[in-house]
Amino acid sequence: MIEIIFGMLGGLALFIYGLKTMSESLRALAGKKAHKFLGAITTLPIIGILAGALVTAITQSSTLVTVMVVGFVNTSMLNLKQAISVIMGANIGTTLTAQLVAFRITDMWVYFAAVGFPVYFFFRRKLPKNVGMVSFSLAMLLLGMGLMSAAMVPLRADPNFARMIVAFSDNRVLGMLVGAVFTAIIQSSTAATGVIVAMTMQDLIPFEAALPLILGTNVGTTATAVLASIGGTVSARRAAMAHVLFNFIGALIFLIFIDQYAWFIQLISPGGDVPRQVANAHTMFSLISAALFLPFINQFAKLLTKIVRGEDFKEKRGPIYLDDRLLNTPDVAIKQARAELVRLAEIAGENTRLAFAAFIERDSQKLAKCRDLEDQVDDLEKEITGYLTKITQRGMTEDLTKMHTKLLNAANDVERVSDHADNIADLAEVAIENDVNFSDTATAELKAIYAAVIESYSVSVTSIRKMSVKTAKGVDKLEEKIDKMEKDMRKNHTERLKNGICNAEASGIFVDMIINFERIGDHAVNLAKVAV
């Protein structure tokens, strides 16, 4: 029994680790594009379902996508209706792994490992390294599945195990509960389904006993989204509740009609191939549930607003001060454009603060807000530029023309500041995902240059708000301080590398961080010129 337990746990550990590293590598290959793809979906529910399924299939983690959706709703990037459709799609996309392992290709792990590891080990570029890690991670996943399956062989002759399986077959509610609890504990419906498929490969459980367990995995996987929504907005809690109700109601419906469902799955699956039947049951649950809920998505959204009550603060997106009716008075329009520029600069500044906070606190949830702020800056910068372009069609004095040019240049500088903040967020994401540690000295230096840059940037924004020449001149002194800090930090960093205090991965992130901070400082100097 000890050998069985440790064999199963060891195989499960490899399976989950392989799944995790494969998900991280796939995210590195397409994560940021997938993030923007999800954030840009249309209001059509069917598009949301397809987007959720595609991104989950790419990242191999419905939990990741669901938590991402909760974060999007939390920052108003998605509304509740869009979130529901993406969650439906995520349930479909996560069934891909179960289909893969059900084809009994566990012995092929050696080929994936033999190809993946050399590619990862010998290549230095990120693209081939990530591709190699995907292949090697798939090898670990398949090896883990094979070890679990092999460890369970002695259970065929165990009478106690046989009686437990009979209990699952007779008491379907108990089977669903066990599947839900097990999935909630390991926080992966894919891994839980993998264990069930491994058991069917050794003929340990019949399809009738596996089916309630599969239904339970769909209920248990909602636990992570609920945890992610704690402390979030009302809309984020509604999105998490949507995941819970969608899967729970679907599981109850299927449990009531489980005999008919079992007949349907056996009808569309290869006869006698229980692993394939289990995988198909997992996939069809998500497909049929989405088809049942899709026509009632508006009513479902209204139900969620009644269950999770409250109102969210609606953040104003888009321009506030720009008004086409003022274009005939260019001096007033210029002032409004300057006020909008200050607001744009404040959003970019908040993006910088949030990105560095995500890095220091190792907080992935802050990164979703960073992406949202970056999108806001891009959109608002275009609005300001377009408005300033319209002003040129009216007659302007020489002074207004000079200010117009300054505002155009400043809008571009602010947009670049937000781009550097986005770079810092990317570096934070790499540090979080790869658990990159920094020496206390390096961390202190990053905090110091960050503080100096934020001070310089805040002073420059204040100078524009007050149109104060005196305040603007203070930015030059701060810039000299930042340039000196950057040079000293590079020198100190080189010494730490020589002494083996910093590793190569941390070194790359550190250097890129100070480069981005120094360039934000340069843009702060440019911004201050508006007031001069």
Reported as a single tens digit per residue, the pLDDT across 233-289 is 677 788 788 888 988 999 999 999 999 999 999 999 887 888 889 889 989 998 999
- Mean pLDDT lowest among 107-116, 210-219, 229-238: 229-238
Given a contact cutoff of 8 angstroms between Cβ atoms, the answer to whether 15 and 145 are in contact is yes
Looking at the predicted structure, is the pLDDT value of residue 34 above 60? no
How much of the chain is in helix, strand and coil states, percent to nearest 5?
A: 85, 0, 15
Q: Residue 305: what residue type?
A: T
502-507 mean pLDDT: 78
Tokens linked to 379: 């959109």
Reported as a single tens digit per residue, the pLDDT across 65-109 is 766 676 566 655 567 788 888 888 888 887 877 777 777 677 788
339-348 mean pLDDT: 93
* pTM of full prediction above 0.85: no
515-524 mean pLDDT: 94
| CA–CA distances in Å: residue 300 to residues 71, 157, 327 | 20, 48, 45
Average pLDDT value over all residues in the chain: 83
Tell me, what's the pLDDT at 157? 63
CATH for 324-531 is 1.20.58.220
Q: How far apart are CA 57 and CA 12, in angstroms?
A: 21
Tell me, what's the pLDDT at 67? 64
Given a contact cutoff of 8 angstroms between Cβ atoms, the answer to whether 506 and 436 are in contact is yes
Given a contact cutoff of 8 angstroms between Cβ atoms, the answer to whether 48 and 86 are in contact is yes
**Backbone angles phi and psi of 320, in degrees to 5:** -110, -40
Tell me, what's the pLDDT at 26? 67
Q: How confident is the model at residue 152 (pLDDT cuts 50, 70, 90)?
A: confident
Query: Which residue did the predictor score with more confidence, 124 or 297?
Result: 297
Domain definitions of the chain by residue range: 2-305, 324-531
